[in-house]
Structure 1
Amino acid sequence: MFRSSLAAVLVSGASFAVLPAPSAFAAGPSGLIAHRAVYDLELKDASDRSGISGMYGRMVYEFDGSDCTGFTTNFRFVTQIDTGDSTRLSDQQTTTFEDLTKRIFRFETKSFTDEQLDKDVRGAAEDDQKGVKVELTQPATKEVDLAESRFPTEHMLDIIQNAKIGKNFFEARVFDGSDDGDKSLVATTVVGKQETPAADDADADKAGAFAKTPFWPVTVAYFNEKSSGDAMPVYRMSFKLYENGITRDLTMDYGDFVLTGKLSKLEVLDTKACK
């Protein structure tokens, strides 16, 4: 799974592959499969205070690796934003590595506006038995001690496991290295009953071999660590989730504006089985 804080037009994506039957895909003990997914983004709604009159873009999400070697995620999120008076190109590029066994997480995020670098955040986090210790190397050297948190792939596996046992609501603290890389967020997750794609399901046909595979509708709301009462989430994301970790039909709610992301291309990547 992914979370963004928020150039060809807008990112060159992977070519569509003819996929074999779902049972033919290699997956490790976690059940997750390596894949590259491309999503077309459109503006669904925007408040007056957002200053946004139009927005579109593309998101490319590549998840690779294995349970034994660790998982690498390459994520690129590019949007062209129209304010009525001007347009600007926003480009966020994130690379992470997560070792599920050692509970190590490394991250790097670069954010550009009109091809000019705005922010570069790099660091690593690990479980030190008392919580999560973060060591930032960019934009400045800094150490941060956080409460016990889940890393992104762990949290994805938590969602899938809870979905399987029918637990439709749970909360977790999550650290994904986003924003300034120095805090975790509280993630509230709601999982619906498993469904089979309907005939008019917008992007199901783009899922190739998974076009008719059952999925769970999921909504995750992220809150600041110290939020209380009826606090508004920093960010909310809804999506359709397959048991193998592939997602589609995204809705990304940033408060002042909402984007939709429809799966346009999917490629399953080759991975070596763990020995």
Structure 2
Amino acid sequence: MRRLPTAVLATAAGMLGLAPSVAPAAEPGAEAMAAHRAGYKLTLDRSRDNAVARADGVMVYEVVDACDGWATRQRFTLVLTDRDGQVVESASDYSTYETKDGRTIRFSLTQTSQGAVSQRVSGEAEVAPNGSGRARYVDPQPKEEALPPGTLLPMLHTIRSLAAARSGSRMLVTPLFDGTSPDGAQDTTTVISGWQAAQSNSRFPALSTLGSARMRVAFFDRGKDAKDGGGASAPDYEVGLRYFENGVADDLKMEFGEFSVNGRMEELAILPSGC
């Protein structure tokens, strides 16, 4: 599950160009990730100084197994009502294609506010085995950004977070590049709860046989305090969630600073891979 709200995709396979001619070696753990489509209902959790009186929205997150990589799309709409009754609607449409070795990504994002485009970000990035690399942007303007050693791409970050949870680790600290920022990678700190054994799930039986872990991911702007890895400053954004071992996430809580939003998974479809 990627950072919110962010995003654009036309078709995950068509617009982004997709896979290389030689299939990359998949990261260990990638085979456990499930292609799926999940729908979430968004509601207000809390508001600092009651600045936000109401929040309503929906998010749809889709992962398609494209054999050599993962094509993801995340669509997000949120309507905020302030204490004076003024209403603001924001939306994002975000897509990626990430090879299963976690080395290359194509990304595209469009954000709108009150129906007008407020941001576009698109391009591609490559990372070496040590995580260093470069991001090449097309939007909002052509440029390149260096990626620091240790950088993870988003699906690989999910896989590594789940592996850390299963091994008993309680924290994963690493730069993350997901293509949602025009300024390159962000520092992240993922705090992980203990691994939970499979539990009965009457709402979503497909998850009943799967272990899970609760996590909280904090995102930091490297430009503010890069030398400290983000730990010395307040995060720009935080998300809490429960990840099942197949990469499906529920029980979302998104912290935007002045307010936070809960995300309840209402629909889940496990998709065939076709590979």
TM-score of Structure 1 vs Structure 2, range by shorter chain: 0.7 to 0.9
Work out the percentage of aligned pairs sharing the same amino acid: 27
Are 1:81 and 2:80 an aligned pair? yes
Which residue matches 2:114? Answer: 114
Aligned partners of 2:93, 2:5: CA distance in 1, in Å?
11
Output aligned runs, 1:30-179, within 5 Å. 30-48=31-49, 51-66=51-66, 68-83=67-82, 84-101=84-101, 103-127=103-127, 131-148=132-149, 149-179=151-181
2:213 is aligned with what amino acid?
A: W
Q: Once the 2 structures are TM-superposed, how far is the Cα of residue 3 of structure 1 from its aligned partner?
A: 0.7
RMSD of the TM alignment (CA)?
2.2
Task: Compute the TM-score of the two structures, normalised by the length of structure 2.
Answer: 0.82
Aligned partners of 1:191, 1:129: CA distance in 2, in Å?
25
Task: Check 1:254–1:29 CA distance in 2 against 1; reply closer, same or farther (3 A cut).
Answer: closer
Q: Secondary structure at the match of 1:37?
A: strand
**Mapped contact 1:32–1:245 kept (Cα < 8 A):** yes
Are 1:195 and 2:196 an aligned pair? yes
Aligned partners of 1:270, 1:118: CA distance in 2, in Å?
35
Are 1:207 and 2:204 an aligned pair? yes
* Aligned counterpart for 2:240 among listed residues 238, 241, 263: 238
Task: Note the residue ranges of structure 2 that are not aligned, 5 or more in a row.
Answer: 7-28
Cα deviations by residue, 1:146-184 (Å, 9 ceiling, x for unpaired)? 21310000100101111111111121110111132x221
Q: Once the 2 structures are TM-superposed, how far is the Cα of residue 86 of structure 1 from its aligned partner?
A: 1.4
**Mapped contact 2:199–2:208 kept (Cα < 8 A):** no
Q: Once the 2 structures are TM-superposed, how far is the Cα of residue 138 of structure 1 from its aligned partner?
A: 1.2
Aligned partners of 1:114, 1:4: CA distance in 2, in Å?
18
Q: Once the 2 structures are TM-superposed, how far is the Cα of residue 88 of structure 1 from its aligned partner?
A: 1.8
**Mapped contact 1:208–1:266 kept (Cα < 8 A):** no
**Mapped contact 2:38–2:267 kept (Cα < 8 A):** yes
Aligned partners of 2:199, 2:137: CA distance in 1, in Å?
46
**Mapped contact 1:207–1:263 kept (Cα < 8 A):** no
How many residues get paired? 245
Q: Once the 2 structures are TM-superposed, how far is the Cα of residue 101 of structure 1 from its aligned partner?
A: 2.7
Task: Compute the TM-score of the two structures, normalised by the length of structure 1.
Answer: 0.82
